[in-house]
Structure 1
Amino acid sequence: MHPSEPVYVTKPFLPPREAYERYLPGIWERQYLTNQGPLALEFERGLSSYLNVAHLRWVANGTMALQLALRALEVKGEVVTTPFTHIATTSAIVAEGCTPRYADVDAVTFNLDPAQVEAAITSQTRAIVATHVFGNPCDIVALEAIARRRGIKLIFDAAHCFGVQWQGRSVLECGDASILSLHATKLFHSTEGGAVVLRDEAAAKRVDQHRNFGMEQGDLTELIGVNGKNSELHAAMGLANLPFADEILERRRQQHVRYTSLLEDAKGLQFQGLSIQSGYNHAYFPVLLPSEAAVETLLSRLAKQFIYPRRYFSPSLSEQYPQYNAHPCPISEDLAHRIVCLPLYHTMEEAVQVAIVEEMREMLSNWTSAQVA
């Protein structure tokens, strides 16, 4: 089966055009496009309500959200973080004048290994930035205990975690701060956007000031801030998408379950070990193949059918930026060599999933036979 059009790793969900366009007359009438306009404030409140979190601030993007979290918590110095994540995690840390220190990850969950985090902490460490990889929560209890014992801040890069629940509450409420990406490629989006969720209102107020150039009243500034605000047009997309959030999550769950059932007995394939049994958002479907050569073979075969999974995350940041390695990170590097994220998006048809699985199963069968021979 050849798809009628190219199949990429993801496509953005788009609401009915009229759901978005109904906000446009008011934008044109007000001529108020940015600087925390009425739609921006409405979306920020609506997002906070849907996610059931307090102290949420909607900002320009997920990278900016992490920078603002570091600023609000006054983090300067070394930051222990993961090499198995998007470069944006590291770039935000560096942009705020901090030094990343990579600790290795767990081979099952793909998240930071708390023991490796502990070993990477020095007298210069001021924070931990831990990514919930593919929306799979970290060992939150262990990381919170380390941060508390060492007297350092704990920030969760929860870019993938829209709607994820942990122990009966939003995973975004964990740590001193959590950040969320609302980029167009994410499960839920506002075209471009991000959010930072703080533990207390005082820190949230510091984000308010930092995201507006440091200005508090008029043009007076008490600190050097940044432009972290978002626009009314992006807020309109977020507001138009919000009523469909439950539908998006349920559709993604069904697709994730289908992949799992079709691939669970495939030889030579490994899945990410989920740390929660319920509350997961099924945002991604990562698989580990036997080797990097197997990954390249699969990608080549699928490309001939115009199907394009993604090697996400590859290469490991520990290989790209070894100067930031606290210690060697062999597990992160092994995962990066063998991982593939399969296509997954709202309008993806069952037949396309079946075609991808059939190609994978045939490739793995041939690969396994060749290795035995």
Structure 2
Amino acid sequence: MDEADLDLTELPFGSNLTFMEDRKFDRGPQIQLREPAEGPEPLYVTRPFLPPLNEYTKILQGIWNRGILTNNGPLNYALEEKLEQFLGAPSVATISNGSLALEMVLEAAQLTGEVITTPYSFVATSHSILRAGLTPVFVDIEDNGFNLNPARVEEAITDRTSAILAVHCYGIPCDVDALANIARRHKLTLIYDAAHAFGVRLEGRSLFSFGDYSTLSFHATKVFHTFEGGAITVSDPAKRDRINSLRNFGITSETTIPYIGTNAKLSEPSAAMGLLQLDYIDFVLSERARVDRLYREGLADIKGIYVPPIPDGVISNHSYFPILVTSDFPLSRDGLYEHLKSERIFTRRYFYPLLSSLPMYESLPSADPKRLHNASRASEQILCLPIYPLLSDSELQRVVCAIRRSSSHP
């Protein structure tokens, strides 16, 4: 197959691609599509929403005409302004990805010593702390939830503690009032990893109105994406200047470089995608709500499958659909994971293994599994099912029926 015969715009998310080298003609990497395996169409845990291509290319034409591809171009500024309005955030700075957003916040806050955080998250959360030269201190999650337990946070504070880095896991809000109270009394910086929480509201307030800083990921797997990207929201706009400098090598003027920064600017093509995504965000959120509702209806009576409720007062973005596979189910969590995979339904064990069990953290006193009972249990039971706007009712029923069949597994 010649690359001219392959329309990359039609490839499904997760397609199996191989990159072949045509040495004879020295044309560089060539893309070939493997023959699909026999069986039903694979269902992946997520699939990015893409707006009509002609709408995106129209914006790209403007980028071509201006010749500005990055370095805080006009589309980047427009996106930041629109995000501030949509998210209800005092100030938004776009970043090239969510991991760098976390690292930038830890640098901007000028922290030292220890940062209290969760073992139940994606690895970027704890890695950002380590890469900043700080020590992560893991504390357990709630008894009946996935977020930091404020009581355990308070117990872990020492004279070396400088911040709390909490995660709104699956877009479910943390106990923001309790954490704010703890941070205020102990004079700690309060940071939220809000990678899952785009557009979530709590009691009518945006989640981005809480804490000193929040970070977002705009990776292709997220509710809102810019291909790759991220952002930082800042409670005090006066702190925004330092973020601006840090994302641009630490430069503050043509001849002044007071900080050790990096290159973390968002490109104009990514900003263009973000602006288009905002045009369709209501559709994306409503379709995710549809999928969430149908899953809850379909799984409600299956013994051993626990579907965490959406807390009262929360307007969810339905970024994930987590279930817990309890001991009442005939298969273990991993058994169900493998069974679904055999039916070409690809779920994810978000978050397993615990961050505290990884080799760079396991020797920390706070990584002792005896201290992390709730997180360990959740990590062994969790399974996230496919959820994305274009998941059809029939595809969703295929997932539900596969789980139902496995519930009668001998």
The counterpart of 2:84, out of the listed 33, 48, 63, is 48
Q: Which position in structure 2 is the counterpart of 1:322? A: 362
In the alignment, the residues of structure 1 paired with residue 104 and residue 69 of structure 2 have an alpha-carbon distance, to the nearest angstrom, of: 22
User: Which aligned pairs between 1:1-373 and structure 2 lie closer than 5 A?
Assistant: 4-290=40-326, 294-320=332-358, 321-326=361-366, 328-366=371-409
Larger Rg: 2
* C-alpha distance after superposition, 1:307-338 (max 9, x if no partner): 10001110111222223452521211111111
In the alignment, the residues of structure 1 paired with residue 405 and residue 349 of structure 2 have an alpha-carbon distance, to the nearest angstrom, of: 20
Q: Is the 8 A contact 1:109 1:275 kept in 2?
A: no
- Per the normalisation by structure 2, the TM-score is 0.86
In the alignment, the residues of structure 1 paired with residue 386 and residue 226 of structure 2 have an alpha-carbon distance, to the nearest angstrom, of: 21
How far has the Cα of 1:42 moved from its partner? 1.2
- Per the normalisation by structure 1, the TM-score is 0.94
Q: Is the 8 A contact 1:182 1:192 kept in 2?
A: yes
Work out the number of aligned pairs and report it: 366
Q: Which position in structure 1 is the counterpart of 2:5? A: none
Question: Unmatched 5+ residue regions in structure 2?
Answer: 1-37
In the alignment, the residues of structure 2 paired with residue 16 and residue 109 of structure 1 have an alpha-carbon distance, to the nearest angstrom, of: 38
Distance 1:257 1:236, change over 3 A: same
In the alignment, the residues of structure 2 paired with residue 178 and residue 304 of structure 1 have an alpha-carbon distance, to the nearest angstrom, of: 39
Q: Is the 8 A contact 1:108 1:273 kept in 2?
A: no
Higher relative contact order (CA 8 A, sep 6+): 1
Runs of 4+ aligned residues of structure 1 deviating over 4 Å after TM superposition are: none
Alignment partner of 1:310: what SS? coil
How far has the Cα of 1:173 moved from its partner? 1.4
* C-alpha distance after superposition, 1:102-142 (max 9, x if no partner): 00001322111111111111110000000000000011111
* C-alpha distance after superposition, 1:135-166 (max 9, x if no partner): 00011111111111111111011100111001
Alignment partner of 1:221: what SS? coil
RMSD: 1.6
In the alignment, the residues of structure 2 paired with residue 152 and residue 270 of structure 1 have an alpha-carbon distance, to the nearest angstrom, of: 36
Q: Quick check: which one's helix share is greater?
A: 1
Alignment partner of 2:407: what SS? helix
